[in-house]
């Protein structure tokens, strides 16, 4: 259910500049993106909200659809393992971590939910390691290799954001698994 809600929110945010005219030097869509994308100078000046808002903006319809398809495929698994609160914690921590990593290592503006989605994949990697599920770990490895190859071969993809999101998701997932196992409330069946 949360996956569906996040997909709807992303689609609504993408649609907003086509419904509301955002005035500025460019078209409504570009002006809208500029209000919330990861802009290093603006973040340095205190616009920290961009570390979150950039995760809900997408450069074009293809970017939106690829990310929403990825979220649709990964989200329900993470939600079933970590529950609603854990899922949201991983998604938002990974998204913010992705933006922060991008802030430090990428000077270009960036947008997209892919860093948060890489974080969801990172949390599944924590599950695979914790349960010695080498088949899942191999599948995650293949997904990461394919995405890394696309990222390095395609200009304007924020690989630092993807990396940061994955690492934060891995760490957050591992911490949640540890807390849950200490409380006796985690069942590692998949």
* Residue 114: active-site member: yes
Is the separation of the CB atoms in 156 and 94 below 8 Å?
Answer: no
Point out the catalytic residue in the list 63, 162, 180, 181.
162
Which token pair is 63?
Answer: 């970017």
* Residue 98: active-site member: no
DSSP bridge pairs for 157 = none
Is the separation of the CB atoms in 52 and 95 below 8 Å?
Answer: yes
Is the separation of the CB atoms in 136 and 184 below 8 Å?
Answer: no
Point out the catalytic residue in the list 94, 110, 114, 123.
114
Calpha distance 109→189 (Å, rounded): 40
- Active-site amino acid positions: 114, 162
């Amino acid at each position: 259910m949360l996956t569906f809600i996040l997909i709807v929110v992303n689609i609504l945010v993408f649609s907003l500049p086509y419904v509301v005219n955002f005035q500025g030097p460019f078209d409504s869509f570009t002006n809208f993106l500029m209000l919330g994308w990861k802009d290093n100078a603006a973040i340095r000046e205190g616009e920290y909200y961009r570390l979150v808002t950039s995760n809900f903006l997408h450069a074009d319809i293809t970017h939106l659809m690829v990310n929403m398809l990825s979220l649709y495929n990964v989200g329900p698994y993470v939600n079933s393992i970590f529950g609603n609160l854990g899922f949201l914690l991983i998604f938002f921590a990974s998204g913010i971590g992705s933006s922060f990593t991008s802030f430090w290592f990428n000077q270009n503006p960036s947008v997209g939910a892919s860093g948060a989605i890489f974080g969801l994949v990172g949390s599944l990697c924590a599950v695979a390691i914790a349960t010695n599920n080498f088949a899942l770990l191999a599948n995650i490895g293949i997904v990461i290799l394919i995405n890394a190859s696309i990222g390095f071969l395609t200009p304007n993809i924020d690989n630092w954001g993807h990396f940061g999101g994955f690492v934060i998701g891995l760490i957050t997932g591992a911490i949640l698994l540890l807390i849950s196992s200490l409380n006796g409330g985690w069942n590692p069946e998949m």
